[in-house]
Amino acid sequence: MKNKPAASNDYVLVTGASRGIGKETALTFASHGYDLIILSRHNIEKLNEVKAAAEQAGVKCLSFLTDVSDYDSVLLLKQQLQEMQVSVSTIINNAGISFFGLLQDTGIRDWEQVIHTNLSSCFYICKTFIPQMIARQSGHIINISSVWGNTGAACEVAYSASKGGVNAFTKALAKELAPSGISVNAIACGAIDTEMNSRLSPEERQQLEYEIPSGRMGTAAETAELIYSITVSTPYLTGQIITLDGGWT
């Protein structure tokens, strides 16, 4: 184990941690000795599996069902953590959903769910926990974005807009927090082999992989390793949208 935070009550907070990138990120930090706060909106069984695996690695892990797209839920989480005298040293804003379809077929509720889950959640989590980092004059924030936030994608307008917002949010917040020694970066993921891409047929997946110079989709574990490497890097690395896409875009 290495690079563990000095304060015993400092935790790494991972949203959307019950599966995919969030799960692998939590377990990667656990393998390096970091205590965890893991969140999921509704999947308590899978979240508890992640919690058990993290504790097997020898770290403390707190799990909460929290809807990060709802500010009141995030405030309740803050209250619970304060009662436990737990503070957050690193934030991984990973929670996200997608919507595939033409813009004219996108319902108002569909739009709101994507924007609130993918973008507003970053604002709610950061607004709530940044004061702890500022008081300590250190911290890391990693926002999980997408290549579609850079280029846009047909039939994924809501998702592209939300991730474009995450990119702008990242760059602006990084400038705000740099004087406090807090780094803010985003990872623009390409095609990662997670449940979000499970809608692809075998033929569609084969065509997609043909278009990727690396010849395959990325893995959640690779994404998690990149996230970890950024948080143990210098805080001078900030305000960056780091693309992880196998040379695709």
What is the Cα–Cα distance from 187 to 61, expressed in whole angstroms? 24
What is the Cα–Cα distance from 88 to 80, expressed in whole angstroms? 13
* Two tokens, residue 176: 């705000």
Instruction: Judge contact between 177 and 184, C-beta under 8 A.
Output: yes
Full DSSP string of 78-142? HHHHHHTT-EEEEEEE-------S-GGG--HHHHHHHHIIIIIHHHHHHHHHHHHHHHHT-EEEE
Contacts of 12 (CB under 8 A, 6+ apart): 26, 29, 34, 35, 36, 37, 88, 89, 90, 92, 231
Catalytic residue among 11, 34, 159, 228: 159
Is residue 210 part of the annotated active site? The answer reads no
What is the Cα–Cα distance from 32 to 26, expressed in whole angstroms? 10
- Residues marked active site are found at 159
